[in-house]
Amino acid sequence: MKMQIRAAVIRSGERSFSIEDCELDTQPREREVRLRLLACGLCHTDLAARDQHLRVPLPAVLGHEGVGVIEALGPGVEGFAIGQRVLAGFGACGQCPSCTAHAPAYCRHLARFCLQGRRLDGSSPISAGAGRYLGETLTGHFFGQSSFATHTLVATANLVAMPDDLPVELLAPLACGVQTGMSAVVNVLEPAPGATLAVFGCGGVGLAAVMAARILECDQILAVDRVPERLALARELGATATATDIESAAVAVANWRGLSHALDTTGAPSIIKSAFNQLLRPHGKLVCAGVGQPDAVLNFNHNQLMLSGKTLRGTIEGDADPRSFVPRMLDWMRQGRLPLQRLVRRYAFEDINQAVADMESGLVVKPVLIFED
């Protein structure tokens, strides 16, 4: 059985999303629920998939920061109820060695769920429902959710219960962008109070990292970006210094004896290499959290790396386990230490292409799509 839904579809060679009538499997499978979406954040990862920097099969229904209400339960669902508000996190099986070790971002089936946008058996719950594309199978399980849609199916392993008293536009970004930036600082970089930390790229991920560094009481926090308005916002959120490029960043950290920690959200090899070689002090740590071009390559001199004792590593979702880290972010929000309202702007779901344009131009840091009740 199928039910009619509305979804934002992206097709090969296109840059604009098309709001279309689609069909969704009515009945959730084992340990799945059907969600009616309330909101979904727009993330640069969605645009990386659109532009095929991530080789997600197209046509696709993207979206991976969904907040919704459970409408139906599949067999074997425990711990969730119809009518409950939940956050849909990134796709993970919940059963492999990484998942059971509380490292779901490194799930054995990550590529299947998040990049191929399929269930483990290769199926997709969403298909085109009208016009010349009638019956066409869409990539409809992107990051285990495909939440640029009025309704979707999500495995319970990817769900986190949400409070009813906080605005949905502040909850949606916790699923990926904000979680990635904050957890990359808290759980991967792990700076001690008094550390000197830089964030390269001040979109949603980078600004979340700035706020995390302030929460952890870093002594000096450098924000690097080309957009003056984002640097001004970074200052308001906790950055103690700002820079527009590597050269001005070097000037800013000259009196800090270099950086003890750095986070890159740009995915640009030239920035990563310069930050690592020029700005990071011996025994410093740099973490890469941004999606780069498909052919992006990093080259380092082996002896320089060995003799400096520096650490360079990547992270997916900031190594977060959403079941434990999202509640921490909710606590910080209630304490006023995570003012996401400074980053977020609401858009009607039908205005998704305007939201994309505003994010790409730098006008808005974090667009969140709102669905009608």
Please state, in angstroms and rounded to a whole number, the distance separating the CA atoms of residues 327 and 96.
Answer: 23
Please state, in angstroms and rounded to a whole number, the distance separating the CA atoms of residues 68 and 88.
Answer: 8
- pLDDT at site 130: 77
Backbone φ and ψ for 81, nearest 5 degrees, come out as -140, 155
Strand ranges in 120-254 using DSSP code E only, listed in sequence order: 126-128, 151-155, 159-161, 196-200, 220-224, 241-243
pLDDT digits (tens, 9 = 90+) for 174-212: 999 999 999 999 999 999 999 999 999 999 999 999 999
For 301, half-sphere exposure in the C-beta direction (CA atoms, 13 angstrom radius) is 7
Query: Are 11 and 59 in contact, with CB atoms under 8 Å apart?
Result: yes
| Six-digit token string for 214 | 């302030």
What average pLDDT does this structure show over 315-340? 97
What average pLDDT does this structure show over 334-352? 97
pLDDT digits (tens, 9 = 90+) for 74-132: 999 999 999 999 999 999 999 999 999 999 999 999 989 888 999 999 999 999 987 78
For 57, half-sphere exposure in the C-beta direction (CA atoms, 13 angstrom radius) is 15
- pLDDT at site 294: 82
Q: Is the pLDDT of residue 313 over 80?
A: yes
Q: Is the pLDDT of residue 237 over 80?
A: yes
- Dihedral in degrees, nearest 10, Cα atoms 31, 34, 38, 40: 60
Q: Which domains does the chain have, with CATH numbers?
A: 2-175+343-370 (3.90.180.10), 180-316 (3.40.50.720)
Cβ neighbors of 188 (< 8 A, separation 6 or more) are: 287, 313, 315, 318, 319
Partnered with residue 280 across adjacent β-strands are: 259
pLDDT digits (tens, 9 = 90+) for 259-278: 999 999 999 999 999 999 99
Q: How confident is the model at residue 133 (pLDDT cuts 50, 70, 90)?
A: confident
| Span of 51-55, 147-151, 261-265, 329-333 with lowest mean pLDDT | 51-55
Give the strands of the sheet with 126-128, arranged side by side: 60-61, 2-10, 18-25, 126-128
Q: Is the pLDDT of residue 13 over 70?
A: yes
- pLDDT at site 373: 62
Query: Are 369 and 39 in contact, with CB atoms under 8 Å apart?
Result: yes
Helix (H) or strand (E) holding 22: strand 18-25
Q: Is the pLDDT of residue 316 over 80?
A: yes
- pLDDT at site 299: 87
| Six-digit token string for 18 | 């098309």
Ramachandran bin of 233, using left for φ above 0, alpha for ψ from -120 to 50, beta for the remaining angles: alpha
pLDDT averaged over every residue in the chain: 95
- pLDDT at site 77: 97
